[in-house]
Amino acid sequence: MGNERGRQLCVIIPTYNNAGTVRQVIDDVLKYCPQIIVVNDGSTDGTSAILKMLPSTVTVVSYERNRGKGHALVAGFRKALEMGFSHAITIDADGQHFADDIPHLIEALDHHKDAIIVGTRNLTEKNMPRQNTFANRFSNFWFRLQTGIDLQDTQSGYRLYTLSQLRGLSLITSRYEAELELLVYAAWAGTQIISVPVKVYYPPAEERVSHFRPVYDFVRISILNTFLCIAALFVWLKQWAYTIFSFCYFLGFAVDMTIRGFFLITLGGGTKDHKLKYHTILQRKSRFVINHVPGTTFSYSNPHGETFEKPAMIISNHQSHLDLMAIMMLTPKLIILTKNWVWHNPFYGIVIRYADFFPITDTEQMMNDLKMKVEEGYSVMIFPEGTRSEDSRIQRFHRGAFYLAEQLGLDILPVFIDGFGKVLPKTSWHLHSGHMSVEVMPRETEAIGYRQMTRKMHQVYLEKKG
């Protein structure tokens, strides 16, 4: 499980004076993950002696003075990155978490790539300390205010982190509030945060080891959250500034292409040369736009040297409204099949119509029009999922694209896009920071029938998404 599906996974266990429980926690975790990093946060009981007797697969990071849980977590993350791990599960050393929930966290990551998975406790559990319940609700309130995300257990120490998604490690405070900070910074960066139910055990009060200082720690948390709320306001303003700027740019793009279409096609007669010129301008502008979305980066990969000279049925996974730009930048000789609402969209529908993109219908006329375009050297493009995914996962593929490819005698040319659903999610009205990428995959030339091809290409995308 430590290297499942190409991931390098470790478990980080911060500990401070947990001599009575830490060895049992480590032994339980070893049943599910052999790679463990224990951070000994200046323990003064028998913890240090226990950690000297651990198996060789357990790495121990120690320092003499107690610095707090936040400091211990950051030390663990940095050690994990230094050792080449891509993911880390954090689990408390006091025995309240159950190691057999580790597979559940990993399963959630399989469905939500690059997310942070939070193990959500049942806050009504028997023996749940009252001050912990209040602290968690207090933290949940601040987190919702700062990020707009409703999370049930922001104080849970049982989490699976995608290490590349961690932000602001140098800013993390040293004590309990650090776990809230980690989530806030990740949310601001657009990282998806997913809750997974986990079991929890709270020992009787007389056996409980707690380093939480109610008055002192609540004051620290309140001060921190005041600063985070101020910072959240600037983050929100920045996101909407990017969004408004981009909307104005896209509007200008649509107006410009409408004017060009009027002169080239309406007044110019819509000759083949004029149509191709219009498509060429559309391609260049799409490439420019997708490379200059504020707050984002973009990469394009064509490892097999695809030239797009031979017409093909181009398919792609579908994550965002930005996907259309990513596809139009590939080649000028491209006809995209769209839904009716896209074709009639008041914002860019006229551009779609000038480009001879067709609404998806079952009419014989559409097939004849497509055959004419293919004979002119144009490729055809469809999103087989039919709609954008809310969480960027690969959805069911419809057969229409593959049936048309078979009828038109076209190869299948798959394109894989990533990151677009993070920058402009289906459920969001504003842009987020992030990296977007487009990869042109190898052509599929095998004639195996459209039903089998549908299943085959769906599996290719599932494996690519990983």
pLDDT of residue 297: 92
In angstroms, the CA 108 to CA 391 distance is 12
Which residues share a beta bridge with 41?
Answer: 63
**Counts for the chain of helices (H) and strands (E), in that order:** 15, 14
In angstroms, the CA 24 to CA 437 distance is 44
In angstroms, the CA 324 to CA 175 distance is 46
pLDDT of residue 6: 45
254-302 pLDDT tens trace: 888 889 888 888 888 878 999 999 999 999 999 998 998 887 899 999 9
Count CA atoms closer than 13 A to 162's CA, side-chain side. 20
Residues of the chain scoring pLDDT < 70 = 1-7, 123-135, 171, 173-176, 203-222, 362
In angstroms, the CA 100 to CA 448 distance is 44
Q: Where are the alpha helices (DSSP H) in 262-339?
A: 272-290, 323-328
pLDDT of residue 243: 75
Q: Where are the alpha helices (DSSP H) in 42-172?
A: 47-51, 69-82, 102-111, 130-147
136-145 pLDDT tens trace: 777 788 788 8
In angstroms, the CA 108 to CA 194 distance is 8
Q: Which of 364, 353, 292, 356 is closest to 322 using CA atoms? A: 292
Tokens of 329: 């930048």
In angstroms, the CA 265 to CA 262 distance is 6
Tokens of 421: 């659903």
387: exposed, middle or buried (C-beta count within 10 Å: 0-12, 13-18, 19+)?
Answer: exposed
pLDDT of residue 76: 95
Structural element, H or E, at residue 340? helix 340-343
In angstroms, the CA 414 to CA 345 distance is 26
3-state DSSP call for residue 350? helix
pTM above 0.75, yes or no: no
